[in-house]
Structure 1
Amino acid sequence: MSHYFTNINSILNELFFKKLSLVTPLIISSCALVTCQVSAHDVTVNITGAVTDATCTVSPDSVNKTVYLGKVPAKTFYRAGGSSLPVAFNINLEKCGAIANGVVISFSGTPDDSMTDLLKLSPESSASGIAIELMDDTQQLVAVGGSSRPYLITGGATTASLKFYSKMVANGEKFQPGSIISSVTFNTSYP
């Protein structure tokens, strides 16, 4: 009977090693298809940058600015597009750092219903049929919600006076003479 168990043991061992010998090449061949070895690499990431003093503050005289467009004859506005003469105003900046590209001004306010690049008159106005146009120092339109061209600040200047223009424009709606009031907020950005 012990001979019987010995044969069974040897048969089982033989089957086990045959299975093992079949499985081992599969493991080895799968490592050949997929990298089984894990390797570590030292990786260096260089991060560079600079901190610059590239902003200005708005001068106190430009925080609450009033631009008076004058008294203009009503006949100027009887046709759409008729306008008053442009009136210059400045936005003054101070404590400017080393600005590489300059400063850009954007105006936000309520756009006119007919001429959406221009400002709408406030409800307190008694005039109607008029919108307010804003322009840069070259008298090019700066649309409401848009941005001006960059104003360069050169030579290490710490202050800047940015010139803009404003005028009244007939928007083609029913015209009514009277007082005009409109408000706009300006924001500075540094390209």
Structure 2
Amino acid sequence: MRRLVAFGVLAVALAACGSPQQAADQSTLAVGPSSESESAPVPPSSVPVTPGQVSGTAEQAGGRCTAAVLAGVVESTEAGAGNRYGKLVVTNNGAGPCTVTGYSGLQLLDAAGNPVPTDLRRTPDPGPAPVVLAPGAAAAANLHWTVVPTGDEPVDRPCQAEAVRAAAIPPDETQPVSLQWGLGPVCAGGKIEISAFYAA
């Protein structure tokens, strides 16, 4: 009689928990979220999108944008009271999408390719956020500098050597994109404020 009772209790326990194979299947499902998180779409709020761009998964993003696929230009936007404002604009010339996230490097150069004093300062507005660029789409970073001599800079001639070109290094990359400067000297020791990239 005790054996029958014990067997009955065991049968009820197995019915509640499922078969050993079902338990194994459930434990396999329990580790599923890590693989789901890899294939889950990137939240739209973290990937700014404009017409001509793509959003979605990391697969669609196609990896980081490199100098090999980017073309760059500096555009002057406004000037006043000794201040100059512009934008560093990079365009994806590649065959597939790529992503830029964060701040560009920037070094001013003279006609011979020698460095001209450049003191790049990052600004927090806008801050870093992934920008996915479809082929032909662009991202921009805001620039600000002064043409007013400071400290011991001369006032009777250009405060610094005038740059002809610039080398812009995409975020997390080492090879620069070469671009024209032609926007006059940058005073205050070559100080240029730069924002993170955003969808242009």
Task: State the TM-score, normalizing by the size of structure 2.
Answer: 0.34
- Tell me which protein shows more strand as a share of its residues: 2
Task: State the TM-score, normalizing by the size of structure 1.
Answer: 0.36
State the structure with more CA Rg. 1
